[in-house]
């Protein structure tokens, strides 16, 4: 039996989606932001900072921020775009999945004025026993083309960053020893993340790139919403469309991400 229910996450209304075998995720309407993914074995797989704001006053630190229409500071708009700081609508649900929407009418007036395009985002999140699936659709229902970038800025929980190894983003295995922030353009194969918590396979379609980030000790200490040695316990591996593309009037772009537990 799979089900969805409304819960509170901090001060934020959220949707809990239960999948087969008790696997479950929690997604806040603020940002359509996945903040927890427990696989059927009860193991939490996603990092969320204990110091994160959870009241809608700023982006959540951790989870899976939806990045749109700008990646980081690569543009003139809000850092990482407005999708992660806007309140989405729950528009559909079924067996182990829910769908969220964001369009220009949902934006705060100042944000809408700064990005004056007609758009519609749809994020579908589906929970299986040992797998999580995302599908992000960007539509242009307007008469004018718009440029956009997008990413699913996923914070994967690891036991210790020194125990994490990443395959599939560069030649050979990657081990992170301190601050690391790099865009790997043109991902062609599945990525595997191994740590003391087991192994995850990450597959992406539509998103051409993968960004790998860990702030390391110094940058982490400068982040108001990250505490102590929390940086030791996650690595972001982000399916991304970093270089903006134009979406013509009537156009649709789709990016997908699947994360599954595999034998270590």
Ligand X SMILES: O=P(O)(O)OC[C@H]1O[C@H](O)[C@H](O)[C@@H](O)[C@@H]1O
Q: Which residues bind to ligand X, rule: CB under 6 A?
A: 72, 79-80, 181, 211, 213, 236
- Nearest residue (CB) to ligand X, 36 versus 70: 70
Cβ of residue 41: shortest distance to ligand X, in angstroms?
A: 28
Q: Are 58 and 67 in contact (CB under 8 A)?
A: no
Cβ of residue 232: shortest distance to ligand X, in angstroms?
A: 16
- Nearest residue (CB) to ligand X, 98 versus 151: 151
Cβ of residue 126: shortest distance to ligand X, in angstroms?
A: 25
- Nearest residue (CB) to ligand X, 77 versus 142: 77
- Nearest residue (CB) to ligand X, 80 versus 139: 80
- Closest residue (Cβ) to ligand X? 213
- Residue 234 CA to residue 240 CA, distance in Å, equals 18
Cβ of residue 34: shortest distance to ligand X, in angstroms?
A: 15
For the chain, the helix, strand and coil percentages under 3-state DSSP, each to the nearest 5: 10, 50, 40
Beta strands in the chain (DSSP E): 3-9, 12-18, 24-28, 33-38, 66-67, 89-94, 97-103, 120-127, 131-139, 146-152, 155-157, 165-167, 174-175, 180-184, 191-195, 198-205, 209-214, 234-247, 252-262
- Among residues 46, 86, 92, 56, which one has the least CA distance to residue 69? 86
- CA atoms in the 13 A half-sphere facing the CB of 178: 3
- Nearest residue (CB) to ligand X, 125 versus 152: 152
Tokens encoding 137? 């659709």
- Nearest residue (CB) to ligand X, 127 versus 149: 149
Cβ of residue 181: shortest distance to ligand X, in angstroms?
A: 5
The CA-to-CA distance between both ends of the chain, in Å, stands at 29
Q: Are 212 and 182 in contact (CB under 8 A)?
A: yes
Cβ of residue 94: shortest distance to ligand X, in angstroms?
A: 31
- Residue 100 CA to residue 109 CA, distance in Å, equals 20
């Amino acid at each position: 039996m799979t089900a969805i229910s409304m819960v509170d996450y901090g001060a934020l209304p959220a949707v809990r989606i239960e999948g087969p075998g008790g696997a479950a995720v929690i997604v806040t309407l603020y940002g359509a932001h996945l903040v927890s993914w427990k696989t059927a074995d009860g193991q939490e797989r996603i990092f969320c900072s204990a110091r994160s704001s959870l009241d809608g006053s700023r982006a959540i630190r951790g989870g899976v921020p939806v990045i749109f229409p700008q990646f980081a500071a690569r543009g003139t708009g809000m850092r990482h775009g407005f999708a992660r700081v806007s309140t989405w609508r729950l528009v559909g649900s079924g067996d182990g999945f829910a769908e969220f929407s964001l369009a220009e009418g949902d934006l705060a007036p100042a944000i809408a004025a700064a990005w004056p395009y007609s758009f519609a985002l749809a994020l579908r999140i589906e929970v299986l026993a040992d797998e999580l699936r995302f599908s992000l659709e960007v539509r242009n229902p307007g008469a004018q083309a718009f440029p956009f970038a997008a990413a699913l800025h996923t914070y994967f929980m690891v036991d210790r960053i020194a125990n994490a190894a990443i395959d599939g983003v560069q030649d050979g295995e990657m081990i992170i020893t301190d601050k690391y922030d790099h865009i790997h353009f043109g991902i062609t194969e599945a990525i595997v993340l191994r740590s003391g918590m087991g192994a995850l396979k990450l597959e992406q379609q539509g998103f051409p790139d993968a960004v790998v980030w860990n702030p390391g000790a110094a940058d982490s200490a400068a982040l108001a919403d990250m505490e102590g040695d929390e940086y030791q316990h996650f690595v972001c591996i982000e399916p991304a469309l970093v270089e903006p593309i134009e979406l013509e009037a009537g156009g649709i772009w789709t990016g997908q991400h699947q994360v599954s537990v595999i034998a270590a």
